[in-house]
Chain A
């Protein structure tokens, strides 16, 4: 039995051109870290705001009023509109701030990717209804 070796031919016309070499100057890892951390700030904001809306009717009404400030149909959507708004604002505002602060810095991306994953894990746990309802009850003192 013979073995056939198939080799890629970079010069062949049939081989897809993958990408042109980058002509940009070196970008620091801080730019990516700022984007990753801002995303997780937005996700955590959504999770935390949701816990407090479940804990407090007053806060829930305030969050709904934030959504009603700009979102079409917010009256029908309910407090969810405000939760989306606050998460969006936290995400974009933190991205701008972190972009300015971290943008020019060389950072260890591997470490920050782990921080990001831990943050995503926490946010996911906090939006699981049995968890956030339990926390809301404890905050409300029931």
Chain B
């Protein structure tokens, strides 16, 4: 009897099992977090705590995906990419997170610029106007640039498919788009984090 396993007979993990594992891991992490830190304390006491949590989470996930996208974009540019299908998928995920971060950012912006003396915008304009007039305004427009850049990258990757790999300037274009999207993301993320530390909404 042959005791060696034939690699062809090994079953791959199903998508359902992968989703289940991820759900269990996230659920466990949330349970531990909520058991050790009250939900209201985690979100903060400000009126914009919930949109701030959503915006921050989307931006963080976008940063995570964008960093991998930057690396795969570089691999594509130099023509040494194996995970081309992963880059295709990642570009769509990046565009989705860009969109969600912008939507949540709009929601949070309502609290940021509320016409009351204690809103972050009012406080900044009264104390350090440069924070709003330069850094926040640059951030709010620069962040929007990530959407057309990531959508454009995803479109080219899916529309051309593997043709890109044999066409250098298409590869360079996608790499440039991923790189620029990462740049505007980091600018917006960094300035947003700084503003939040100075005055949470």
- The total of interchain contacts (Cβ-Cβ below 8 angstroms) comes to 108
Q: Give the interface SS of chain B, mostly helix, strand, loop or mixed.
A: helix
B65 at the binding interface (Cβ < 8 Å): no
B7 at the binding interface (Cβ < 8 Å): yes
CB contacts (< 8 Å) of B128 on chain A: these are none
Are B114 and A42 within 8 A (Cβ)? no
Are A120 and B110 within 8 A (Cβ)? no
CB contacts (< 8 Å) of A21 on chain B: these are 162
Nearest A-chain residue to B136, judged by Cβ: A129
From B102, B141, B176, name the one whose CB has the most chain A CB atoms within 10 angstroms: B141
B165 at the binding interface (Cβ < 8 Å): yes
Residues of A in contact (CB 8 Å), total 47
A52 at the binding interface (Cβ < 8 Å): no
In the bound complex, what is the Cα–Cα distance between A87 and B152 (angstroms)?
15
B73 CB to closest chain A CB (Å) equals 14
B160 at the binding interface (Cβ < 8 Å): yes
CB contacts (< 8 Å) of B161 on chain A: these are 22, 24
Within 8 A of A (CB), among B95-115: 102, 106-107, 109-110, 113-114
Query: With A46-B144, A87-B144 in contact, do A109 and B173 touch (Cβ < 8 Å)?
Result: yes
Nearest B-chain residue to A133, judged by Cβ: B133
